[in-house]
Structure 1
Amino acid sequence: MSEPLLEVRDLVVRHGATTAVDHVSFSLAPGETLALNGPSGCGKSSTALAVLQLRRPDGGQVRFEGRELTTLTERELRPLRPRLQPVFQDPYGSLSPRQRIRDAVAEPLRLRGRRPTPGQVAALLERVGLDPSYGDRRPRELSGGQCQRVGIARALAGEPRLLVLDEPVSALDPSVRAGVLNLLADLRDERGLGYLFICHDRDVVRHFADRVVELREGRVTSEWRPRRSAAAPR
């Protein structure tokens, strides 16, 4: 068997005197979607932030592509971050309101020391289902679903191996959720991406995930595999 893309062992995250994540463990293979499911406040998002090292854990291990992240300095993490990308819940909040879409998509390329061309940005926008002309717009001129597609394009610019999807469709109108989920499924299959999928909606999880880890009060209570008899609507 191949080495896991992501391995989390005995993860602990505390917020003051409260233990938000209590010795949580799981692993994720390349090309797999692992969902963290549970009610609000169960520790899903705290786990996601700790995996991304945007919130340093108080205990445990996070291994990405065989490398232990919790012992690395921010300088040592910097070259790894493009391969480990987030897509957040709020499609507007993750984009600067003053920045044009083309600059938002190009920014990860610039941070990697590259000089992005208009063709690269256009190709990324087209891949997420947006006309390249949207590059001239600002976030307020786009719908929530379109902004979330921009967020996905930004993540793809880093050529990631793992996307951490923190409630990526919960803020969207029900009529556009299926389109974003179908885009994510196509990208996963096309690029062999691993997904850590944070979601409270069991119906969405049942259609989208390969495995599900249930969290309650910061602890893993069960793990199960959805029956993939039905596909998400297209």
Structure 2
Amino acid sequence: MARTARRPRRVVPGVPVSPLLDIRELVVRHGPRTAVDHVSFTIDPGETLGLIGPSGCGKSSTAMAVLQLRRPDAGEVWFDGQELTALDERRLRPLRPALQPVFQDPYGSLSPRHKISDAIAEPLRVQGSWDRTTGPARVAELLERVGLDPAHGDRRPHELSGGQCQRAGIARALACEPKLLVLDEPVSALDPSLRAGILNLLAELQERLGLGYLFICHDMALVRHFCDRVAEMREGRLVRTTAVTSPSPPR
């Protein structure tokens, strides 16, 4: 694997930090089965928390509840000082842009019928912030920010590589100017040669924009290499949370 750099989180000594995301006793049930069983964790601004565990342990169900794409059956989701679980959809809608997902399948997360530029512009249109005059330049800027040529905006997903599609998905998330990205296995569908580039991009964006990351993964070595803390799930429960004290050596 090519070298990736995990940048240490910027913390000012003696200055208290309020969590950007605060999950309290989260419960998610699928019929009679409890997928997430009283899970609690926090993520500070600019921090990366890795959520790891075997398939079926509740990682993705936790992510869906954090994003409020699936309302939890119990518990609280506090984001940027507001309890999302207490809000109806009308009051939740203005907060959604600050909390954005990046999914595992780079092709499946983009419509095959739409150009990449349209996919990136879509969140701006949904928010009512699209401007015909400045919008195309904003899309081009986002493409360049994630390491793509603005000319890629005229292509459709099948005309791009998996790594390029994932970069486009990240650009679409950034269009909303988020504070937290929920990264659900963002590199597991990519060839090993492409993973380091995406991880380096995420690290650079976090350094530049101060983003918080919930990084969902099944690879402990990767999580320890990329994250500030690691939360391990087993059978719906959070069994331990540990700090990563220093970056892994280059590989």
When normalised by structure 1's length, the TM-score is 0.97
Q: Larger deviation: 16-25 or 221-230?
A: 221-230
Matches within 5 A, 1:26-105: 26-105=41-120
Q: Quote the residue 1:210 is aligned against.
A: 228
Describe the SS at the equivalent of 1:78: helix
Q: Quote the residue 2:11 is aligned against.
A: none
User: Shift of the alpha carbon at 1:226?
Assistant: 2.2
Q: Is the 8 A contact 1:10 1:59 kept in 2?
A: yes
Which of the numbers 115, 118, 123 marks the counterpart of 1:108?
123
Q: Quote the residue 1:183 is aligned against.
A: 201
Deviations 1:99-125 (A, max 9, x none): 000000111111111224211100000
User: Shift of the alpha carbon at 1:65?
Assistant: 0.5
Distance 1:177 1:10 in 2: 33
Matches within 5 A, 1:86-165: 86-116=101-131, 117-165=135-183
Deviations 1:67-105 (A, max 9, x none): 000111111111111100000001111110000000001
Q: Quote the residue 2:19 is aligned against.
A: 4
Query: Mind listing any 5+ residue stretches in structure 2 that lack a counterpart?
Result: 1-15
- Matched residue count: 233
Q: Quote the residue 1:196 is aligned against.
A: 214
User: Shift of the alpha carbon at 1:225?
Assistant: 1.6
User: Shift of the alpha carbon at 1:187?
Assistant: 0.4
Distance 1:229 1:158 in 2: 30
Query: Mind listing any 5+ residue stretches in structure 1 that lack a counterpart?
Result: none
Deviations 1:134-176 (A, max 9, x none): 0000001011111000000000000000000000000111110
Distance 1:77 1:231 in 2: 42
User: Shift of the alpha carbon at 1:231?
Assistant: 5.4
Describe the SS at the equivalent of 2:78: strand
2:34 corresponds to 1:15 = no
Describe the SS at the equivalent of 1:70: helix
- When the two chains are superposed, the root-mean-square deviation of aligned CA atoms in Å is 1.0
Q: Is the 8 A contact 1:214 1:223 kept in 2?
A: yes
Q: In structure 1, give the amino acid aligned to 2:63.
A: A
Distance 2:17 2:246 in 1: 24
Relative to structure 1, the CA distance from residue 174 to residue 53 in structure 2 (aligned partners, 3 Å threshold; closer, same or farther) is: same
User: Shift of the alpha carbon at 1:232?
Assistant: 6.0
Q: Quote the residue 2:4 is aligned against.
A: none
Q: In structure 2, give the amino acid aligned to 1:74.
A: E
Distance 1:201 1:134 in 2: 31
